[in-house]
Structure 1
Amino acid sequence: MIAVDSMLKPRALITGIKGFTGRYLAAELQSHGWDVWGMGTQPGTADARYSCLDLLDEPRLHTVIADVKPEAVVHLAAIAFVGHGDADAFYRVNLLGTRNLLAALAAAPKKPRCVLLASSANVYGNSTEGVLTEATSPNPANDYAVSKLAMEYMARLWMEKLPIVIARPFNYTGVGQPEDFLLPKIAAHFHRRAHTIQLGNLDIWRDFSDVRAVVQAYRRLLQVCPAGVTVNVCSGRTHSLREVLDMMERISNHTMDVHVNPSFVRTNEVRSLCGSSEKLRELIGDWDVPPLEETLRWMLGELPHA
């Protein structure tokens, strides 16, 4: 376990710290006594605790790791939008970039005491109905999911050298998530009081979490560091898109015409996908996700005024 002593702050390194999840995780760790450092590909910051670099730049990556000497590492840097146009990029960043990071950590004079890799529940695919546990067989259905599953298998080659924990987050959202993702898209349409919105299948149930709960789970996994474990991070509750729309209508007092765009409907998509968070709670103790309506209310309330 990594103890957080207010007199001597443990140092955490977050890859992808400028991204949606990274910003929340940095704030979560800082508020619990961590000295937070980061790296990413976004330039233009004078923060001495931030390094702008590409994970494919192996020499610089080794230098930064040796300089920072992190006690804990959370690897968030990834191409996460499934519809990203460059399939090769999924493998360059999500697989090869992760391998370079693990190689640099293993070669560092001071090895971290915990390395948390953010994978994805997308590795389970869209064909297995019901509650998904960590024992559910992976069945990835797109390049993003394949790249994440390949990352998981590759990481196992380093588990004798590094204390690696693999997290499989299900869908999660919050203020600041790009409109490329479904719930921010819906929230933005209601906030603009748009007349219409185009969506896919409305009669599917999915497991949605709040980013604030997800980063809390990551922090607590870092502290207990169950090395070698793969664990779901999910609410264990499902909501249909129709329910999401109904919640948005109640919160905003606005209605829209919803058009189902056939090009947004996935073939052979299962009706309900729900994660089991039992293993997560066994590892970190009591943990819960705010009700989805509370998260949606937060998102609508924080969107900038037009």
Structure 2
Amino acid sequence: MDSHSKPTALITGIDGFTGQYLKKTLENQGICVFGTTHSRCNIKNSYVMDITDSLAVSKVINLVKPDYIIHLAAISFVAHSDPTEFYRVNVVGTECLLQSIIDSGLSLRKVIISSSANVYGNSSAEQISENISPEPVNHYACSKMAMEKITANYFNRLPIIITRPFNYTGVGQAEHFLVPKIVAHFKNGKKKIELGNTDVYRDFSSVEFVVQAYASLLNSDVKSEIINVCSGHSYSLQEIIETLEELAGYKIEICVNSDFVRADEVKKITGDNSKLLTIVPKLYIKKLARILEDMYLNGIKDD
């Protein structure tokens, strides 16, 4: 491929919820964006690629010759039916990508590896900073923790940042995730909803905030670091429901499903975003009420 006059980014998993938002954000910043997908789609400049196939990964990297790589491709739904896929895709796939970058001999400006705040597990800290010791409690979180350990082995060879996003949502997130599920019930006029404990608090951000953080970190001088991506503020599920009841103009009946209630449920999880905001101080944090209003008015659709 010819050399590009503009900087070039490669996004793995570009067809996912986050990838589609990130593509638009980077393009608006004058970056030429390419991507990889697991199956065929109609996204321009995208390549079908198995992230665990080293030959396929090397071929795409050598074809695109990116300045930046943002690695989003992952099995990200915690309730995924096949636990082995978490490790094959999230761990083996990430090492395949990193080794392929090394083998290409390219000098990249930045590599962002997207992990997850799930690695912290059931932390009881009032605000969870990057200094909290991870205690993953499910296969998804364990695979992300293993991925981080593998990635750290490349810190001295590549300009890598590992991000740990907390909960985030927005228009376009699939309905099997909690907030889009609740929004969809109200949009469809449902009178009842099955949930677990609503008296729990979680740190929610907008997807726009997350991709803006990623885009800004690409141009930072930071490397070999782990960075939380979060709002620094927690909201209860009850607050989410009440906000949507006000938007929809009716109250919904909550049916507690014991399958959704964990005995070891942590009541409140709040991320510490001070490290992120020290590096990128001008990030705009959208309030959850505005996020929910956007989702309610603009619709929900699957990835």
Secondary structure at 1:82's aligned position in 2?
A: coil
Closer, same or farther: CA 304–265 of 1 in aligned 2, 3 Å: closer
Spell out, residue by residue over 1:225-271, the C-alpha distance to the aligned partner (whole angstroms, 9 max, x if none).
Answer: 41101000000001111111000011111221001111101121111
Secondary structure at 1:38's aligned position in 2?
A: strand
Contact 2:171/2:300 (8 A) holds in 1:
no
For 1:209, the equivalent position in structure 2 comes to 205
Query: Is 1:271 matched with 2:229?
Result: no
Code of the residue aligned with 2:49 in structure 1: it is L
Query: Is 1:287 matched with 2:283?
Result: yes
For 1:33, the equivalent position in structure 2 comes to 30
Once the two structures are TM-superposed, the CA of residue 127 in structure 1 deviates from its matched residue by 3.7
Secondary structure at 1:24's aligned position in 2?
A: helix
Q: Distance in 1 between matches of 2:41 and 2:19?
A: 17
Q: How does 1:147-166 map to 2 (within 5 A)?
A: 147-166=143-162
For 1:125, the equivalent position in structure 2 comes to 121
Between the two proteins, the alignment pairs up a number of residues equal to: 298
Secondary structure at 1:274's aligned position in 2?
A: coil
Once the two structures are TM-superposed, the CA of residue 56 in structure 1 deviates from its matched residue by 1.3
For 1:237, the equivalent position in structure 2 comes to 233
Percent identity over the alignment is 43
Secondary structure at 1:27's aligned position in 2?
A: helix
Contact 2:174/2:300 (8 A) holds in 1:
no
Query: Is 1:80 matched with 2:76?
Result: yes
Point out the more displaced range, 107-116 or 75-84: 107-116
Secondary structure at 1:147's aligned position in 2?
A: helix
| Among candidates 103, 125, 138, match of residue 99 of structure 2 | 103
Once the two structures are TM-superposed, the CA of residue 302 in structure 1 deviates from its matched residue by 1.1
Contact 1:235/1:288 (8 A) holds in 2:
no
For 1:89, the equivalent position in structure 2 comes to 85
Code of the residue aligned with 2:80 in structure 1: it is H
Code of the residue aligned with 1:165 in structure 2: it is I
Code of the residue aligned with 2:228 in structure 1: it is N
| Among candidates 246, 249, 274, match of residue 245 of structure 2 | 249
Q: Distance in 1 between matches of 2:156 and 2:32?
A: 27
For 1:4, the equivalent position in structure 2 comes to none
Extract unaligned runs of 5+ from structure 1: 1-6
Contact 1:66/1:109 (8 A) holds in 2:
no
Q: Distance in 2 between matches of 1:190 and 1:242?
A: 14
Root-mean-square deviation (CA, aligned residues, Å) is 1.4
Query: Is 1:51 matched with 2:32?
Result: no
Contact 2:171/2:299 (8 A) holds in 1:
yes
Spell out, residue by residue over 1:147-181, the C-alpha distance to the aligned partner (whole angstroms, 9 max, x if none).
Answer: 00100000011111111100000000001101111
Extract unaligned runs of 5+ from structure 2: none
For normalisation by structure 2, the TM-score amounts to 0.96
Secondary structure at 1:220's aligned position in 2?
A: helix
Once the two structures are TM-superposed, the CA of residue 74 in structure 1 deviates from its matched residue by 0.3
For normalisation by structure 1, the TM-score amounts to 0.95
Closer, same or farther: CA 44–274 of 1 in aligned 2, 3 Å: closer
Contact 1:125/1:141 (8 A) holds in 2:
yes
